[in-house]
């Protein structure tokens, strides 16, 4: 269970002002609030330029760092851009890297944020500016901390940016299980993609997860990044699956148990969650992080 030694990576600056928008930036502070007293909240540094360049093209990194963005890029991003948004995404990239370091030291890294899996090497998409998952994995690979890694992406949307970035990197296995009919409508090819029908509920979802997840571990990853999207929940504004809160926690338990059994360090990122009831989203995220905290051996 989470306790005094548990570390949750979080910054209040994740909640950049993007106006009246479907992406609920306030969910970060609400989730962190639910975890207070259950561990230490550790604030990351913004990712360094050289670390962003491990997964992104130089022209894109410099554009993001400038704090200004042409309208065409904002259209793909689907949200307004500003220096505060730039900082928020650099902080989250630094946060996922810090969580990866915690995972390698303690068995698990817990990020109250992160999961910008629609960000490509050279552009933003779908509210995602910098692919923190890719940056963190590329950093620990470049340091020789791990030889192989895997991404388990269970957000309701396919992790298209992550799949594209790692397409030519056989040392990284990307698994995405997502609703097939929704955004992104042009899917990228990952190592393993499982498309779900509209309206899939707990039983169908968990059955398919238990069928396909073992493929990830045939790759023998030395680090797993788990994108634990809350947007698989029934009633999510941007998804059409029908998982209950209990079903989502069972999903999390399956992933955590597979890593724990094999003693593979696990990083958790939050990904999406767009319920009209923001407290419901924060409850789901907090429950995921509490469960994953049981992997902490620090």
Residues with a catalytic annotation lie at 118
Q: How many Cβ atoms are within 10 Å of 25's Cβ, its own excluded? A: 18
The per-residue DSSP string of 128-181 comes to BSS-HHHHHHHHHHHTTS-S-EEEEE-SSS--HHHHHHTTT-TTEEEEEEEETT
In three-state secondary structure terms, 183 is coil
d(CA 268, CA 229): 10
- Specify the residue for token string 């396919």: 158
- Specify the residue for token string 């994995």: 137
Assigned token pair, 258: 């597979």
Q: How many Cβ atoms are within 10 Å of 59's Cβ, its own excluded? A: 10
d(CA 173, CA 133): 13
Cβ distance 84 to 16 under 8 Å?
Answer: yes
- Helices 132-142 and 83-106 cross at an angle (nearest 10°) of 50
Cβ distance 228 to 270 under 8 Å?
Answer: yes
């Amino acid at each position: 269970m989470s306790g005094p030694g548990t570390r949750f990576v979080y910054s209040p600056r994740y909640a950049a002002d993007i106006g009246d928008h479907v992406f609920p930036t306030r969910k970060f502070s609400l989730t962190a609030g639910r975890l207070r007293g259950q561990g230490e909240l550790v604030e990351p540094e913004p990712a360094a330029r050289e670390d962003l360049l491990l997964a992104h093209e130089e022209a894109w990194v410099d554009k993001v760092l400038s704090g200004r963005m042409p309208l065409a890029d904002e259209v793909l991003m689907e949200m307004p851009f500003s220096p505060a948004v730039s900082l928020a995404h650099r902080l989250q990239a630094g946060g996922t890297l810090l969580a990866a370091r915690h995972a390698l030291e303690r068995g698990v890294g817990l990020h109250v944020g992160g999961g910008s899996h629609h960000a490509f090497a050279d552009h933003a998409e779908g509210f995602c500016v910098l692919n923190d998952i890719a940056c963190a994995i590329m950093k620990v690979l470049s340091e020789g901390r791990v030889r192989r890694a895997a991404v388990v992406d269970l957000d309701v949307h396919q992790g298209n940016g992550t799949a594209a970035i790692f397409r030519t990197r056989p040392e990284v296995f990307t698994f995405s299980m997502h609703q097939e009919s929704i955004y992104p409508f042009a899917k990228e090819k990952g190592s393993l993609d499982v498309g779900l029908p509209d309206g899939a509920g707990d039983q169908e979802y968990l059955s398919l997860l238990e069928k396909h997840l073992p493929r990830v571990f045939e790759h023998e990853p030395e680090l797993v990044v788990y994108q634990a999207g809350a947007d698989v929940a029934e009633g999510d504004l941007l998804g059409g699956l029908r998982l209950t809160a209990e079903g989502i926690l069972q999903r999390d338990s399956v992933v955590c148990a597979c890593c724990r059994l094999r003693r593979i360090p696990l990083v958790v990122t939050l990904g999406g969650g767009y319920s009209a009831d923001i407290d419901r989203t924060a409850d789901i995220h907090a429950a995921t992080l509490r469960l994953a905290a049981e992997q902490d051996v620090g």
